[in-house]
Structure 1
Amino acid sequence: MKSDINKEFLEMCTLVDKHKVISFDIYDTALLRNVLYPTDIFEIVSRELEENDIFLKDFKKMRISAEEKARKFSQCEDVTLEDIYQVISGDLGEQLSQTIKKIELSIEREFTVSNPFIKEVYNYAKANNKEIIFISDMYLPKEFITNLLIENGYDQFEDIFISGSIGVSKASTNLYSHVRKEMNINSSWLHIGDNMTSDYENALKCNLSAYYYKDIRTRAGIKKVNSIELSIMKAIQINYCESTEELNYWQRFGVNTVSSLFFGFTLWLINQVKGKDNVHFLARDGYLPYKLFLKMSDIIEGLPKANYLYASRRAYQIPNILNMEQSDALELLTAYNPSLGQRITIGEIFDNICLNREKYDQLIRNFGFYDFNDEIKTDNDRARAKEVLKSIYTDVTIVLQREKSLLEKYLIQNGVYECNELHVVDVGWRGSTQKAIKDITGIETDGYYFGTTHNVYDDILDHVHGYAFNLGKSHINAEKIMDNVMMYELVFSAPHGSLIGFREENEIIYPVLKEVENNSFLYECLSDVHSSVIVSVDKYIPYYKYLKNINIKDCLDGYFEFIEAKRYEDLIEFTKLSSVVGIGNSQDSQKYVTCTSIQEYYKNKRKIEQDINKNLWKNTLIIQGSLSELKRKDHSKKLQSMLGVSWITKEKIIKAIKNPRKAVKFIERRIKYLMK
């Protein structure tokens, strides 16, 4: 639990200790809805009506209007559900209106859950023998709400008071007077609720003690959403995250930021492979989709049996070199990605092919390399590396033939050759592993990916399928994702090592994994992210019928916004991570976020600008320093110059100060001033 949640819990328990009678508001306090707004229930009712072949034009608008009319004509301070449907019956008739009312009550029950935080406060009050009552300004029937409370664990209380049933409300203060009289309350009374006016200010006016419990939507800072699917999903996320103290940063990140992405991808995948006879999830990036697919297989019929197949570009694509022209093979063996800041040495090239360095020490010198630590920096360096490999290509093919044999045995062991056609799942981009599988097995192979680029291999062009973008389209999604491609590969990565090859023991083939990142904290974070995504999907599954058609945009926008926002608290956590961007035994680890001091920043601004463009989270920078350093005239003037239009509007630098509180406020004001 976040420390502020725990602090609030202790504060509320202290108040409970001081009072004999404890009353709770119900909705948005003791109970939560798994939709963002109460009126979203009416949209779901409308869809349920259509499922039952009852088609009404804009039922949601009709339902809201009926409630407004019922309130307008009521002689009481609140209305009942019966009053509302009496208005609806005037348009639809008694029989149909009663049918719809039953559906609304059913949907309310389905989408109502307990608030774990308030439930703990309730448990504390109960354990300390307090008189507990529930008070709500609500149109739903008393008996219905009573049952909801009991079903959600609030099974012991003195009484429940509902404004619609009684005819007076908290909004007028009269319900408090009614409760005091009915319960004969003469002792100390604490009321807890989420409405500042009716639950807090009005309670104080009636000589109660009161605690304002800020509703979860406000706590989470939720913006308005435009689809009922996203309303359900976001409500589930915030109801979980904002009411428990047990989640760390990476678990919250998993729930709030990427669970939608993975759930959307899994739903799409299900539709793609339904009716197929096999689906193979490729390690490492198919790890979490595999876990989620297994869960969905429990509730959806007609899905193929899923298999987790250890795979990597190193273990599949390099043995597949035997099926390539020599020039293409040399291109692949010496490839690296300088745009991501990746570096590679002649020694790493040899290691990736599993060639013994000692045997070729003199050879590389003959081609102008000093030793195996020489870095491939230029086209000329790469050309010389190709010539080295070309001169020993027979040795290369012998090694790769041995690797290919082990790979084929592994695929046989996993039943791959028993399939007439193959279906593989991976994070995506160009389809290199899919092509290798097709070339090695000779079996037609379809690939299902989070995304595929425009330069997919020609011979598999008609056999790739992308979720967020396919063959580079949609251009908007492709550009956003590929611009921060390592941020996506990060969340897809399994919390285990990368496959670098296979070994045979007692005629059984085992994968050989290596923790190439050499960062145990990274694997801990990935485990937390993945476990929280799985928990989130467990919470989505009961609402599958409502979520199954969620659109791609709703699933992707959360992570898009996260990456673009570059919030300080997120950057700080990502400074702890690094990843390897090469294949095989590459040792070149790259950071996600750069962290530097004020002094270092103004001394090396140009280099830092260049370096952060190669961060795995592009253009992310934290500048650290004390308030006294910032106030120094020489630093202040230089920072003011560098943090002007030329930098801040271009790169969105985030400032971090080691001395928080006053210092953070100071620097925020300074930055806002500079950005004017």
Structure 2
Amino acid sequence: MSLIDLALKIEEFSVISFDFFDTLFIRKLEEPESVFDLVGEKFKIDQFRALRKRAQQLAFVEMHNKNKKEISLDDIYNNFHELDEDKKHAVKAYELQLELDVICPNQEMIPVFLKAIELGKKVVITSDMYLTSHYFKESLSKYNLPQVPLFISADCDATKRDFGDIFDIVKNEMKVVAEQILHIGDNQLADVDKAQSKGLSAYHYQADSITQRKNVPISESIVNGLTDSRINSFSNGSGEQFAYQYGGPTLIGFSQWLKKITINDKIDALLYLARDGYMIKKYSDRSCKDDVSGPVEVYFKGSRTSFILSSINDTNFNEYIPYFLSGAYELSAHELLERIGVVPPAQHLLHALGFAENKAIKEISYDNIYNLLNSMKKDILKVCRANRRGLHQLLIDLNLPDNANIGLVDVGWKGTTQEAFENAIKPFFNYKVFGYYFCLISNTSSTKKSMLDSTTVGEETINKVYENRVAFELLFSAPHETIIGHVLSNEKVKFIEDERQDKARSFFAPLEKGMSEFFDIYDNLTFKIHHLPEDNVLIKPFVDYAISGMWKQNKYILTMQNFDAWSATKNKTFSPGQYI
């Protein structure tokens, strides 16, 4: 039975009973016992998880000795003999607060809960838990959900899991026969078998997105729990869902690494290069909004193209002809010029010279292309000079010291953007330039640092990341087209975008929304639990997904065509998976 069918099914019953944990509410942790790890971390108690579980076992022994059927949190801490009374009180209070902090409504089940109330059904919550009804009232209140009758094992001294006695209490308190009750829960034994043994109807809720492994490291538990807790709130296969699940964690992991790695280099200005640095800068603005001691940070609308153009002059022009032709095999002659911001001759003139609009560069002799570029040399150099002036002004506007340390933030691969930037500014500035990258496929420079390289994850993984680099570039992007120039206009720098493309904004908007939502939830939770997951754990889900090649079948990614602006052409359409 689907959730849609369930919403219809509830009309047949007088009382609708919901399990609480992993049904009506879910934790933002993959493993519930990760709460114990967080408590131990807060109070610096070694082996707290084991001690806490032992206290719970002793509470069960005491329960049986007293002929009771359930324990409470008080019972557990009364058997926590390793703590003195003051510490018991503080630790117990913190555990209870954490249990409130880590839960959130299950976006799949809450609509069913509210629908049942709307239909006038008697809605109750029935839960096996050592926490008392006060906790459940607080949970509902926290998310502005209606208060309903609570049947909690710690209060009722009866459970679902053992003999199903709590269902008898529900039946008697609600004054209905068992056949008029539908119970909804995730546990086959407690929520289905025991409910049915008492004559109730039962719906076995199974959430595909929720995983609960045992003994999970705390960082993994947080990252996976945050993903699982919200993934079903997005349309399946949407850009928001993809970005929330993979983009948010990846960008935060890289940002956390970046903050640590830049400290030792005493960076004066951190330039987040377009478009790769857009979301990293956006997250940095959130996480460092109160930090005035760090470097100047700007989203720097410069690119490998604009930096290379800034480096070209009359003397070295011929050396850059291979660059002009790189990745151009499917382009027409006018596209070859347009992608560097040069206005091409009228198409009828190009056509007369043998450069038809639908004729690709690969079909034209090298000599003819070489002659075309040389005939356009004056126009190309004019664009190069304009870019050089614009770049100079951008750096002057930063008001940096003469010997400043500048950091460039980029997704990476070979570090050629950094080299182009250094070449472009060398005649004018004495800055030392550092590059900070998500991944470099090779590196022998002390001024280039990457989160992933062969020394951290091995050469095989690096090669696989590079083979699937488009997947990463889709996340490390921005809601604007590729920057191909920065020129002075009325004493201000104007940024030139590749006008041949017009899809970046609409494609990236859902990705930005999904990542921003993850940023919100991540910051809120980590602030409350006082724990930041490890950087490598945050990026691992997407690295694994990307190198598996599964991204090439992602429904949302498949909607993007001609993502790589440098090689984009009207003559041929490329899907992201075709870029190798």
TM-score by length of 2: 0.85
Structure 1 match to 2:115: 124
CA contact (8 A) 2:137 2:147 kept: no
Deviates more, 1:140-149 or 1:191-200: 140-149
Q: Which deviations, in whole Å up to 9, do the C-alpha atoms of 1:126-185 show, x marking residues without a partner?
A: 33333332211111133233323322333422x322212332211111111123234433
Structure 1 match to 2:492: 508
**SS at 1:138 equivalent:** coil
**SS at 2:480 equivalent:** coil
Structure 1 match to 2:23: 29
**SS at 2:510 equivalent:** helix
Q: Does 1:236 align with 2:216?
A: no
Q: Does 1:489 align with 2:473?
A: yes
**Residues 597-676 of structure 1 mapped to structure 2, 5 A cutoff:** 615-616=578-579
Deviates more, 1:161-170 or 1:112-121: 112-121
CA distance in structure 1 between the partners assigned to 2:284 and 2:511 by the alignment: 17
**SS at 1:116 equivalent:** coil
Q: Which amino acid aligns with 1:82?
A: D
CA distance in structure 2 between the partners assigned to 1:568 and 1:479 by the alignment: 17
**Cα displacement (A) at 1:192:** 1.9
Q: Structure 1 228/455 Cα, relative in aligned 2: closer, same or farther at 3 Å?
A: closer
Q: Which deviations, in whole Å up to 9, do the C-alpha atoms of 1:356-383 show, x marking residues without a partner?
A: 6549999999xxx9537765559x9557
**SS at 2:559 equivalent:** coil
**Residues 284-323 of structure 1 mapped to structure 2, 5 A cutoff:** 284-298=275-289, 302-322=293-313
**Residues 540-619 of structure 1 mapped to structure 2, 5 A cutoff:** 540-544=522-526, 549-567=532-550, 570-581=553-564, 583=566, 591-592=574-575, 615-616=578-579
Give the alignment partner of residue 129 of structure 2, picking from 138, 145, 150.
Answer: 138
Give the alignment partner of residue 44 of structure 1, picking from 27, 30, 38.
Answer: 38
**Residues 460-475 of structure 1 mapped to structure 2, 5 A cutoff:** 461-469=445-453, 474-475=458-459
Q: Which deviations, in whole Å up to 9, do the C-alpha atoms of 1:51-97 show, x marking residues without a partner?
A: xxxx32x21122223323332442223222222223322x4444433
**SS at 2:123 equivalent:** strand
**Cα displacement (A) at 1:300:** 5.7
Q: Structure 1 543/476 Cα, relative in aligned 2: closer, same or farther at 3 Å?
A: farther
CA distance in structure 1 between the partners assigned to 2:402 and 2:546 by the alignment: 43
Q: Which deviations, in whole Å up to 9, do the C-alpha atoms of 1:584-624 show, x marking residues without a partner?
A: 88667663367xxxxxxxxxxxxxxxxxxxx22x6xxxxxx
Q: Which deviations, in whole Å up to 9, do the C-alpha atoms of 1:166-215 show, x marking residues without a partner?
A: 3221111111112323443348222222212211222222222322222x
**SS at 2:407 equivalent:** strand
CA distance in structure 1 between the partners assigned to 2:349 and 2:104 by the alignment: 71
CA contact (8 A) 1:580 1:587 kept: no
Q: Structure 1 514/86 Cα, relative in aligned 2: closer, same or farther at 3 Å?
A: same
Structure 1 match to 2:55: 66
**Residues 156-555 of structure 1 mapped to structure 2, 5 A cutoff:** 156-157=147-148, 159-171=149-161, 172-186=163-177, 188-214=180-206, 216=207, 218-220=208-210, 226-242=216-232, 244=233, 246=235, 249-273=238-262, 276-298=267-289, 302-322=293-313, 325=316, 328-336=319-327, 343-344=330-331, 347-352=334-339, 358=345, 370-371=354-355, 375=360, 377=362, 385=369, 389=373, 396-413=380-397, 420-438=404-422, 439-440=424-425, 441-442=428-429, 443-454=431-442, 461-469=445-453, 474-502=458-486, 504-517=488-501, 520=503, 523-544=505-526, 549-555=532-538
**SS at 1:591 equivalent:** coil
Deviates more, 1:576-585 or 1:112-121: 576-585
Structure 2 match to 1:85: 77
Q: Which amino acid aligns with 1:102?
A: A
Q: Structure 1 587/568 Cα, relative in aligned 2: closer, same or farther at 3 Å?
A: closer
**Cα displacement (A) at 1:323:** 9.8
CA contact (8 A) 1:403 1:501 kept: yes
CA contact (8 A) 2:240 2:513 kept: yes
**SS at 1:578 equivalent:** coil
CA distance in structure 2 between the partners assigned to 1:363 and 1:17 by the alignment: 72
Q: Structure 1 371/184 Cα, relative in aligned 2: closer, same or farther at 3 Å?
A: closer
CA contact (8 A) 2:274 2:300 kept: yes
- Identify unmatched segments of 5+ residues in structure 2: none
Structure 2 match to 1:633: none
**SS at 2:326 equivalent:** coil
**Cα displacement (A) at 1:536:** 0.6
**Cα displacement (A) at 1:264:** 0.3
CA contact (8 A) 2:269 2:296 kept: yes
Q: Which deviations, in whole Å up to 9, do the C-alpha atoms of 1:305-351 show, x marking residues without a partner?
A: 532221122222122123984564334333338xxxx6455554444
Q: Does 1:11 align with 2:5?
A: yes
CA distance in structure 1 between the partners assigned to 2:487 and 2:197 by the alignment: 77
Give aligned pairs, total: 567
CA contact (8 A) 2:563 2:575 kept: no
CA distance in structure 2 between the partners assigned to 1:285 and 1:570 by the alignment: 23
**Cα displacement (A) at 1:223:** 6.4
CA distance in structure 2 between the partners assigned to 1:88 and 1:589 by the alignment: 70
Q: Which amino acid aligns with 1:84?
A: I
- Identify unmatched segments of 5+ residues in structure 1: 595-614, 619-676
Q: Structure 1 186/360 Cα, relative in aligned 2: closer, same or farther at 3 Å?
A: closer
Q: Structure 1 101/392 Cα, relative in aligned 2: closer, same or farther at 3 Å?
A: closer
Deviates more, 1:561-570 or 1:437-446: 561-570
**Cα displacement (A) at 1:547:** 8.0
Structure 1 match to 2:141: 150
CA contact (8 A) 2:195 2:202 kept: yes
CA contact (8 A) 2:331 2:568 kept: no
Q: Structure 1 182/471 Cα, relative in aligned 2: closer, same or farther at 3 Å?
A: closer
**Cα displacement (A) at 1:103:** 2.2
CA contact (8 A) 1:581 1:589 kept: no
Q: Which deviations, in whole Å up to 9, do the C-alpha atoms of 1:456-492 show, x marking residues without a partner?
A: 7xxxx33222122389975344222211112211221
**SS at 1:230 equivalent:** helix
CA contact (8 A) 1:250 1:529 kept: yes
CA contact (8 A) 2:237 2:556 kept: no
CA distance in structure 2 between the partners assigned to 1:184 and 1:354 by the alignment: 78
TM-score by length of 1: 0.74
Higher relative contact order (CA 8 A, sep 6+): 2
CA contact (8 A) 2:271 2:299 kept: yes
CA distance in structure 2 between the partners assigned to 1:356 and 1:101 by the alignment: 71
**SS at 1:29 equivalent:** coil
Q: Structure 1 571/160 Cα, relative in aligned 2: closer, same or farther at 3 Å?
A: closer
CA distance in structure 2 between the partners assigned to 1:569 and 1:400 by the alignment: 37
Q: Structure 1 462/388 Cα, relative in aligned 2: closer, same or farther at 3 Å?
A: farther
CA distance in structure 1 between the partners assigned to 2:52 and 2:315 by the alignment: 66
Q: Which amino acid aligns with 2:184?
A: I
Structure 2 match to 1:636: none
